[in-house]
Amino acid sequence: MKRITKKLLQYILSNRQQQIKHRQQLIWQHSRKSHVHGQQDKPISSNDSSDSANTHPKKVYHQGNSKYDITRRELYNWIVASEPTHFLTVQFPMNMRSPSLDASKNNLRKLMARFEQCLIGSRWAKSHLPFYAFAEIGSKNGYTYHFHILFNVGKYNTEQIQNALNKACLQLSLPLDTIYLEKVETYEIIYYCLKEVKITNHSGCYDSIILSSDLFNISAK
């Protein structure tokens, strides 16, 4: 039994390292392309209007005029307006992973609700911490879902967020490596999160983007 557990832990660690490496590679590629186009990797201030964000293309990555590029620009500007400060990856243990988006969202709902309860208190729904969650399905995990989350921690610091996440995992009997928290160093991470969004010239599928207000069925701030 110990050998099986050890192999499972090794698999989880290896898979997480591959994801981090892949994410860093994508961010590097985006940054390199931005540099080639003479763009600057500069966060958009909350004082910038949406018109201003669209007027200054150097603040966004894609400059194409296809439906795909335009929609991704709009999504980017929409998300960047919240000035995300932290990036969270959630990958549930093997026995909880599912190819069903609804089942996976239900697991995410339980974890994030417990996290907010640990961070804010029992009445967290009245002043919850808004976030954007992005569902991603991985072929290496049997086409099961994991999530990337962007949020602005506001008055809280990284240590408080990490402690609340750890506490939530422990209370739900989840391993601590279910979650991986890091600071947002560049808004290019938004494009990494948007890579699963399917957009064509005729339609778009945005099921992979989940607002916290929708996840919890509460009024958005």
The first and second tokens of residue 132, run together, are 């954007």
pLDDT given at position 22: 57
Nearest 5°: the CA angle 66, 70, 73 is 145
pLDDT given at position 20: 60
pLDDT given at position 90: 96
Task: Collect the ranges in the chain with pLDDT lower than 50.
Answer: 1-2, 4-9, 11-12, 33-62
pLDDT given at position 40: 40
Q: Which residue has the tokens 């979650």?
A: 179
Domain count, the chain: 1
For residue 123, give its domain range: 2-216
* Distance (Å, whole) CA 93 – CA 89: 13
CATH number, residue 94:
3.30.70.260
pLDDT given at position 140: 76
| Any domain includes 107 | yes
| Any domain includes 204 | yes
Q: Supply the pTM of this predicted model.
A: 0.69
| Any domain includes 221 | no
* Distance (Å, whole) CA 151 – CA 158: 12
| Any domain includes 136 | yes
Q: 3-class SS at 17?
A: helix
pLDDT given at position 171: 96
Q: For 34-83, how does the pLDDT look when each residue is reduced to its tens digit (9 = 90+)? A: 444 444 444 433 334 333 333 333 344 445 556 666 777 888 899 999 99
Q: How far is CA 5 from CA 11, 94, 118, in A?
A: 10, 12, 29
| Any domain includes 90 | yes
Q: Which of 44, 210, 46 is nearest to 131 (CA)?
A: 210
pLDDT given at position 13: 54
The first and second tokens of residue 208, run together, are 């992979």
pLDDT given at position 220: 60
| Any domain includes 120 | yes
Counting residues of the chain whose pLDDT is more than 70, the rounded percentage is 64
| Any domain includes 141 | yes
Q: Which residue has the tokens 């192999």?
A: 7
| Any domain includes 85 | yes
